[in-house]
Chains A and B, each alone.
Chain A
């Protein structure tokens, strides 16, 4: 079984400030971890993923996330927020194998607001 918890349904930052979106997961098997972004009235876009290897992964638009197994976390960061980053962000987990391979479990989402 797997689950995802995103801490904070709404996060507000000033333009140029650090963005930190928190994600903790629970998985009975080694996980694949993902961050997706959804702009209003648009589909899901993959920001970044962790499967194996380096635990610090870089994605599009300057975002990065670090897989910390001991903390079961996969927090998303960006050093400097831009107005265009305003969107809803979803953390997701999938088992790396087994009968549920490929099935994504999503967190509840975090709406990021960027103030000028």
Chain B
């Protein structure tokens, strides 16, 4: 299994600003993912962050809005840029357990944009 921590756990930000969310894993993993959960909604995959390569974004998400870094096998950041109230969501990082077929989730970052 993997233990994942995220910082910050929550934040309230003003529109037009940016927030960087950190994700730390207690073991080395190849595949990391970032998801968004809008209020009252399900989870949607934003992007895949693999170490040593550029992040790959899902349809509807772009690098300019959600730049991602993956400097090593235990850490990743997601930046929410030029925020608007529509960006108010819970952002979760996750890692894939490979052969176990499990995906482990961090506790999430609850973002409110005013």
A residues at B contact (CB < 8 Å): 32, 34, 36, 42-44, 46, 49, 51, 90, 94, 101-109
Contacts and interface: CB of A to CB of B under 8 A. Distances in A.
B45 A105 contact: yes
Given A43-B106, A44-B92, A106 B101 contact: no
B75 interface: no
Given A90-B43, A102-B31, A44 B101 contact: no
Interface of B: 31, 33, 35, 41-45, 48, 92, 94, 96, 101-108
A107 B42 contact: yes
The 3 closest A-B pairs by CB, nearest first: A51-B101, A102-B96, A43-B107
Contacts of B35: 104
A106 B102 contact: no
A102 B33 contact: yes
B10 to A, nearest CB: 10
